[in-house]
Amino acid sequence: MKDLRSFLEDLEERAPEEVFRVRREVDPEFGPVAIARKLQAENRWPVVYCEKVKGSRFPIVSSRLVDTLRKQSIAFATPEAKLRDEIVRRLAAPIPPRIVESGPIKDVILKGDDIDIGMLPIVKHAELDAAPYITAGITTVKNPETGKQNCGVYRLMYKGEKRRLGFFFLGDSIETKHIYYLREQADEPMEVAVFLGHHPAVFMGSVFAGPSSAPTGICNEYGLIGGLLQEPLEVVKCETVDLYVPAYAEIVIEGVVPPHHREPEAPFGEYHKYYGLQRQSPVLEITAITHRRDARYQNIPMADIRLPRGPIDLRPIALYQKVKELIPQLLDVRFLNVGMAVLKIRTEFDGLAKQAGLAALGAAFRPTYVIVVDEDIDIHNTDEVLWAVATRTKPSLDFCFINDVYTNVLEVSGYTIRSRAEPNGLNTKVLIDATKTVEAPFPARAEVPRRLWENLDLEALSEP
């Protein structure tokens, strides 16, 4: 059965440089993220495994897990050159979850007075964060209209209390916002389960905005996860809420979110590497904690805004699938950073690039910026993308601005409809058409013939 442990074992066996074991005791206040930041400064991106943690018996596994091609190749047992096609194939063939009676997640069951969320080594990430935060928890809730579960990744703020967490989950997930508001309108608490620590495919499938994929109705994302794992995800019933969670997760937090109740939450160093504002957010009241006997606590360092190196960032795959349905000439998609995407198209006629860009801007809340380029541009080479923008655009015609579009309440440059100076979820989206004209002449690209340099053996040429 694939889980976090099997992945780490494979990683240490096949690519030991991708795991950095810390054998001395670390403080969860900045310790794991400080180590990761030092490694990043040396252009190293391993999983940071902290074996001894001050104030907790749980080790910390701190990483995005598949942020290098090597890690991705090992996680999916696929050669690096074939990863993208293999991931697309797996997403198109979901495997429903399998319900089991029990599993390792039930090794330890804590209820009532035994609950103390402070036993977990919850990490403080950035200097001005209001508190330590759980950042790798996958939240699942049930839609009261359909009975289906939905998953997403949302942060949880440690409030210094045994049974309560601040809960920010009203960001860019329409499905989750819809579920929560339905509960509030009915004056009912919302049942929640948050699970931490599993195979990278579980995290990836949980955040993928893909099609409905679970015929059992347990959870759409669980079907996608099964496809990515190439085996059914085994799930068990929670102890105190009517939800199913992975049997081979490391830790599960069960609880309820009361309606109409808000408390101060944040500031927090967000995904865009700026501090978010303090907000009035819901609270999770914990009803049970279950965990494996020797559980590992998974953490995602929020100061790392670098995207995965390779195709296993599912955002471009999701965007590619949506835009491809409308624009068959789409060839590839890349996210340059958290809010900027590049589309490569086969430009068959003038105006197609703007159609493709509009489709991408409307397909998701992010990206905020979309650049469309021709098929001769290597979109994974940022210099080439910027060269196309600098040489193939007429800014007055090819830079298009769409005002007052919802993006995300966490956007630091966002605003409200009442005031551009008041932070909120609206922003201006930008489309840049950096393609050559088709019907009018455009100069040919000046290049050294590829056949003359591509296979040159420079070492041999430098020998006497």
Q: How far apart are CA 96 and CA 229, in angstroms?
A: 11
268/226 same-domain check: yes
State pTM to two decimals.
Answer: 0.84
Q: Specify the CATH number for the domain of residue 352.
A: 3.40.1670.10
271/383 same-domain check: no
Q: Is 381 within the bounds of a domain? A: yes
What are 127-150's pLDDT values in tens digits? 999 999 999 999 999 988 888 898
pLDDT at 213 over 50: no
Give the structural domain span for 366. Answer: 314-434
Q: Specify the CATH number for the domain of residue 281.
A: 2.30.110.10
87/220 same-domain check: yes
166/215 same-domain check: yes
266/342 same-domain check: no
- What are the beta bridge partners of residue 170? none
Q: What is the 3-state secondary structure (H, E, C) of 13-71?
A: HHCHHHEEEECCCECCECHHHHHHHHHHHCCCCCEEEECCECCECCCEEECCCCCCHHH
- 122: confidence class by pLDDT, cuts 50, 70, 90: very high
116/244 same-domain check: yes
234/368 same-domain check: no
Is residue 22 a contact partner of residue 51, using CB atoms and an 8 Å limit? Answer: yes
pLDDT at 228 over 60: yes
What are 320-361's pLDDT values in tens digits? 888 999 999 999 999 888 789 999 999 999 999 999 999 999
Residues shown for the chain: 464
287/329 same-domain check: no
Is residue 131 a contact partner of residue 156, using CB atoms and an 8 Å limit? Answer: no
327/193 same-domain check: no
247/156 same-domain check: yes
Angle at which helix 314-326 crosses helix 352-363, to 10 degrees, equals 130
What are 415-428's pLDDT values in tens digits? 777 777 777 778 99
Q: Is 304 within the bounds of a domain? A: no
Domain final residue pick, 294, 324, 346: 294
| Secondary structure class of 220 (helix, strand, coil) | helix
Q: How far apart are CA 384 and CA 118, in angstroms?
A: 49
Q: Is 44 within the bounds of a domain? A: no
Q: Which of 42-46, 209-213, 447-451 shows the highest mean pLDDT?
A: 42-46
Question: In the chain, what's the furthest Cα-to-Cα distance?
Answer: 83
Q: How many CB atoms lie within 10 A of CB 274?
A: 15
- What are the beta bridge partners of residue 152? 139
Q: Is 122 within the bounds of a domain? A: yes
pLDDT at 271 over 80: no
Q: Is 167 within the bounds of a domain? A: yes
pLDDT of residue 211: 45
Q: How far apart are CA 305 and CA 322, in angstroms?
A: 25
Q: How far apart are CA 53 and CA 44, in angstroms?
A: 22
Is residue 133 a contact partner of residue 125, using CB atoms and an 8 Å limit? Answer: yes
Q: Is 224 within the bounds of a domain? A: yes
DSSP string for 232-270: PPEEEE-SSSS-EEETT-SEEEEEEE-TT--EEE--EE-
Which residue, among 161, 172, 170, 169, has the nearest Cα to 132 in the 3D structure?
161
Q: Is 303 within the bounds of a domain? A: no
277/324 same-domain check: no
pLDDT of residue 318: 82
Number of separate domains in the chain: 2
pLDDT of residue 209: 57
Q: Is 31 within the bounds of a domain? A: no
What are 306-323's pLDDT values in tens digits? 555 555 667 788 888 889
| Structure token pair of residue 378 | 């290597």
327/286 same-domain check: no
